[in-house]
Copies of this chain bind each other. A is one copy, B any other.
Amino acid sequence: MEICITSLLREKGFKVTPQRLAIYKMLAATKSHPNAEMIFNELQSMYPTMSLATVYKTMEILKEIGLVQVLNAGEDSFRYDADTSNHPHVRCIECGQVDDVQNIDSAAFVDQVAQGTKYHLIGQQFYFYGICPRCQTKELN
């Protein structure tokens, strides 16, 4: 995994820096789909000089070399996911957490859209909204 990002950066002509490794490592280790500020906050203790701008610049590169995907779950900021497989996401409208939706077969649905539109389709994003298990139990108060 570290090998992967290191060689990928070099291949594409980007330099390998501690900041880039740290950002990618942190993202790959979480399932929380953090936005830039969350990533920045989490890395600040380890890298006291880390800047938000570097997080943004790094995400731009990681997106470009295919190591992260950018999520736009209807919020005011972008979230990032080191799992670049094309899977749906679901956001809790109470607490705001974003989870993966696993083991979904969207092929039939995508095919249907591919046929129904005259676009040359390249990708897609599926976002669901609802109340997460934890917030459901909270609401029993």
- Chain A residues numbered 64-120 whose CB sits less than 8 Å from any CB in chain B: 70, 72-74, 88, 90, 92-93, 99, 101-106, 108-109, 112-113, 116-120
Q: Report the interface size for chain A: residues with CB under 8 A from the other chain.
A: 38
Kindly state the separation between the CA atoms of A121 and B133 in the bound complex, as whole angstroms.
Answer: 11
Q: Does A123 contact B (CB under 8 A)?
A: yes
A47: B residues at CB distance < 8 A: none
| Nearest chain B residue, comparing its CB with the CB of A70 | B74
A93: B residues at CB distance < 8 A: 122
Q: Which residues of A contact B (CB under 8 A)?
A: 70, 72-74, 88, 90, 92-93, 99, 101-106, 108-109, 112-113, 116-133, 136
